[in-house]
Amino acid sequence: MNRRTALYELHVAWGAKMVPFAGWDMPLHYGSQISEHHVVRRGAGLFDVSHMAVVDIAGADARSFLRQLLANDVAKLEHPGQALYSCMLNEEAGIIDDLIAYLRPGGRYRLVMNAGNRERDLAWLRTRVAGHDVQIRERRNLAILALQGPGAEKILSQVLDASLGVAGAKLAPFCGVWKGEWLVARTGYTGEDGFELILPNAAALELATGFCDAGAVPVGLGARDTLRLEAALNLHGSDMDESLNPLETGLGWTVAWEPEARDFIGRSALSAYRERGAIWRRAGLVMDGPGIPRGGQLVHFSNGGQGVVTSGGFSPTLGKGIALARIPVGCAGVETAEIEIRGRRVAAHRIRPPFVARGTGLQGAEVVA
């Protein structure tokens, strides 16, 4: 039987189409995925992402443990509430998972990881903890709500108590504020301004209801995927996995190479790959006409190079098909391509991702009103 979040009954009352996802019953949409997508780009949408894995890391060696475990460097986090995005690599530099690490008061940390990788991630953490004074605790008693969109700040300020609301509205991106078991952080997975709130399960129902009473609209997993695709945010298992490293998936910016003495897991293999020179790079593709690209479809270039779509779909903001693709570095200068859709090649052109940011189409792409 799939697990249910603290908001399950509320999702049902709101008319959600519930689907199994990563061992949970989750809302796919509440009637119209397209409408929910536009709400986030134009107003404020509320996501229940309580299926994500929340893991607290404590102990005298918590900092040194995570500096070894992650490709990014938690030493950058100087004040409680600050966060960073990182990949967790295996010894061959393959991406086990991508995650957000938060600094908690008292030199402790919180990791938020993908739901589908929960068991594998926890096993990896526990196999690496030997020799470290570190305690690993999964927090199944916590919910995660994501309030996303240009109207998110106003709603947050109206609904949260004065101390959290004022502090939250002043946050810079990838910063948060703690209050007991509550964390309000200016993070998200949509390409819009917004907040992610981690709080006790018992408080989630009242908060979600308050956000929606103030004007937020519930949004399901369907729109979450189209939003993240427009924003060119990678999805583990599609755009990256353990067979790929950060340098070939557009995530080189997440690797902290300095200081050189920090020997994070996968560093040696990643350094060797960098010295040899990249074979693959990430690209964005926009369809020139009808056609919806999907993951796994081949991408053909005029110079004979061939790539593959890693994530694709219809962009509600642009009104056309878009895709993230892994292409040979030798095709980086070729502006046009053909995507093989159902046995025929369909014309597309290459852009530098993202496709949409803060509701605006980039690279001259027309935004559909």
CA–CA distance, 28 with 12 (Å, rounded to integer): 11
* Pair of tokens at residue 47: 């996501």
CA–CA distance, 71 with 251 (Å, rounded to integer): 10
The set of residues, in sequence order, having a beta carbon less than 8 Å from that of 120 and lying 6+ positions away, is 96, 97
Q: How confident is the model at residue 366 (pLDDT cuts 50, 70, 90)?
A: very low
pLDDT of residue 359: 67
pLDDT of residue 125: 98
User: Which residue's entry shows tokens 């096993």?
Assistant: 123
pLDDT of 362 higher than 70: no
Q: How many domains does the chain have?
A: 2
Percent of the chain with pLDDT over 90: 94
**Domain containing residue 138: CATH number:** 3.30.1360.120
Say which range, 3-7, 31-35, 36-40, 353-357, has the weakest mean pLDDT: 353-357
User: Which residue's entry shows tokens 């990643």?
Assistant: 270
pLDDT of residue 360: 65
For residue range 285-326, list pLDDT tens digits in order. 999 999 999 999 999 999 999 999 999 999 999 999 999 999
242 and 331 in a single domain? The answer is no
User: How far is C-alpha 226 from the chain's CA centre?
Assistant: 12
87 and 147 in a single domain? The answer is yes
pLDDT of residue 332: 84
Mean pLDDT within 150-174:
94
User: Which residue's entry shows tokens 């056609």?
Assistant: 291
259 and 284 in a single domain? The answer is no
For residue range 65-101, list pLDDT tens digits in order. 999 999 999 999 999 999 999 999 999 999 999 999 9
152 and 228 in a single domain? The answer is yes
Percent of the chain with pLDDT over 70: 97
212 and 297 in a single domain? The answer is no
Distances (CA, A) of 293 to 37, 62, 160, 237, 321: 19, 43, 41, 17, 6
CA–CA distance, 196 with 147 (Å, rounded to integer): 6
271 and 320 in a single domain? The answer is no
Q: Edge-to-edge strands of the sheet including 3-4?
A: 3-4, 24-29, 17-21
For residue range 44-56, list pLDDT tens digits in order. 999 999 999 999 9
Helix, strand, coil: what percent of the chain each, to 5?
30, 35, 40
For residue range 197-230, list pLDDT tens digits in order. 999 999 999 999 999 999 999 999 999 999 999 9
pLDDT of residue 238: 97
pLDDT of residue 206: 97
How many residues in the chain? Answer: 369
200 and 283 in a single domain? The answer is no
**Domain containing residue 327: CATH number:** 2.40.30.110
* Pair of tokens at residue 261: 């003495």
Which of 234, 261, 276 is the last residue before a domain boundary?
276
pLDDT of residue 34: 98
323 and 176 in a single domain? The answer is no
* Pair of tokens at residue 208: 């979600």
80 and 154 in a single domain? The answer is yes
358 and 306 in a single domain? The answer is yes
Pairing of strands 344-351, 356-357: unpaired
Q: Which domain holds residue 110?
A: 1-276
Which of 276, 295, 330 is the last residue before a domain boundary?
276
Which of 276, 310, 332 is the last residue before a domain boundary?
276
CA–CA distance, 222 with 233 (Å, rounded to integer): 15
196 and 100 in a single domain? The answer is yes
The mean pLDDT value of the chain amounts to 95
pLDDT of residue 368: 41
258 and 314 in a single domain? The answer is no
pLDDT of 369 higher than 50: no
The half-sphere exposure of 197 on its side-chain side, counting CA atoms within 13 A, is 29
